[in-house]
Amino acid sequence: MTVFYIAFTFGFIAYLTLETIALNKAIKKIPLRILVNGTRGKSSMVQILCKAMNKSGIKTIGKITGNAPLMINPDGTHTLLKRFGPASIIENIKWLIQIARHNPDAAVLECMALQPETQAVLGQRIFKPHYTIITNIFYDHAEVMGTNLREMAKTIGLSIDQNSHVIVDSDTFGLLQNADVSLANYSKAIMESEFSADLILTNNPKSIVQSQLNLLLTLGERLPIEKERIHSAMKEYWTYNDKSAVIKLPKKNISFYNFFSVNDASSIKQLLDYQMANKPEDTKIIILFNTRDDRALRTQNISSLLNKYDQLKEFWLTGPGKWLTKRTLDKKLILYIAAGNKICRWLSEGFDTPVTIIGIGNHKGAEKILNHLRQLDDKDKKELA
């Protein structure tokens, strides 16, 4: 038995050594590496940046981990990456070795790390980016990233390699400075006065898009990415995603807004304020709060925000954390607690008067509801055809 353990140990050490050698070779074969970190907007930033860079003649491969691990190919198509266990930063080693064989000019990676240790390993040991874009720093993932914005900024700052040039806006720069994060090389975002006038957003506030644009233009000045390419990629991405954010079912008097991926209080406030300012006066609003049982602090923070809105009276609570959420919301509110199947039944029945339903909280576990809505939408379209 002792011989087995010794052989296993040496074999494992040999495997790690060979993997490290392969990773270092892969890193050297990717001339430009860009890490996208922050609280919100990482996946969209990676997709837009990959599109703009490839349109500029820079062969770029990206990876996002929003709803599922996807590789963004140079032609714009997505490839689902297989996982054989829980999400782990180690999966990026295999991905880097894989894409290096295709000799890309650049790689753009969404930072999937949350804990301080994994932030440091991914940024400083595995990916070693030339540029690090930090989209924003909002209060979220308090269970693992810290109990306040200063601690969260410090955690995100651990992903910054000493040789990486950091692109941030003024607010994020201030938070990083307050957290004593060393920024040897950085650029503050260019404040573009106005986004393309022909981009019409009806479901998302332009402030979200504007923030992304400022960061991308700042990076674009340091790389051979034409300003027009960035504007074009932004317009293409947001035109599609703004339209697909809502599913309208006129026969059932339902307008459903899919904001499940928006799960920090600051971003939810932006979207709620925008929706409430632009909704017809006679439209009732229902908040569909999809909860998780491993994000208690997130639930508490979002509930504290929702309790401040006098206009919001009715909530549908679903997901494994629904009973905790019930205790954190105002007792005067109308609360319906239900599993996904029951909510799908309510959606099928529809309403007598116009209703806007806004899905928030978490995208994990919301697939059943979204798929049911799409089926109802397809059915309505077939009947109209």
CATH at residue 185: 3.40.1190.10
Residue 355 belongs to some domain of the structure: yes
Give the pLDDT score at 145.
96
Domain count, the chain: 2
Closest CA to 231 of 200, 188, 199: 199
Do 322 and 176 lie in one domain? The reply is no
Q: Both 263 and 176 in a single domain?
A: no
Q: Both 254 and 239 in a single domain? A: no
Give domain status of residue 274, yes or no: yes
* Domain co-membership, 142 together with 199: yes
Residues 6 or more apart in contact with residue 3 via CB below 8 angstroms: none
What is the C-alpha to C-alpha distance for residues 132 and 130, in angstroms, rounded to an integer?
Answer: 7
**Per-residue pLDDT at 82:** 86
Order of strands, sheet of 284-290, starting from the edge strand that comes earlier in the sequence? 246-249, 254-258, 355-360, 284-290, 314-318, 334-337
Q: Residues 6 or more apart from 232 whose CB is under 8 A from it?
A: 52, 55
Q: Is 314 helix (H, G, I), strand (E, B) or coil?
A: strand
Q: Which CATH number goes with the domain that contains 337?
A: 3.90.190.20
Q: Looking at 210, 243, 276, which one is the last position of a domain?
A: 243
pLDDT at residue 153, rounded to an integer:
97
Asked if 242 contacts 204 with a C-beta cutoff of 8 angstroms, the reply is yes
Please state the pTM of the whole predicted model: 0.91
Burial class (CB in 10 A: 0-12, 13-18, 19+), 183: middle
Residues 166 and 77 in one domain: yes
Asked whether residue 8 is domain-assigned, the answer is no
Say yes or no: 237 and 276 in one domain: no
Query: 224 and 77 in one domain?
Result: yes
157 lies in the same domain as 181: yes
For the chain, residues with pLDDT lower than 50 are none
CA distance 278 to 289: 21
End residue of a domain, out of 194, 212, 243 = 243
Does residue 3 form part of some domain?
no
Please state at what angle helix 227-244 crosses helix 42-55, rounded to 10 degrees. 140
What single string gives the DSSP state of each residue in 118-168?
A: HHHIIIIIII--SEEEE----S--HHHH-SSHHHHHHHHHTT--TTPEEEE
Q: How many residues does the chain have?
A: 385
Q: What is the pLDDT of residue 383?
A: 81
Residues 202 and 221 both lie in one domain: yes
In a domain, 356, yes or no: yes
In which domain, by residue range, is 353 found?
245-384
Q: Is residue 19 part of a domain?
A: no
Same domain, 194 and 165: yes
**Residues 266 and 235 both lie in one domain:** no
The answer as to whether 194 is a domain residue is yes
Query: Is the same domain home to 235 and 262?
Result: no
Q: How many CB atoms lie within 10 A of CB 380?
A: 16
Domain boundary at 243, 258, 281, which?
243
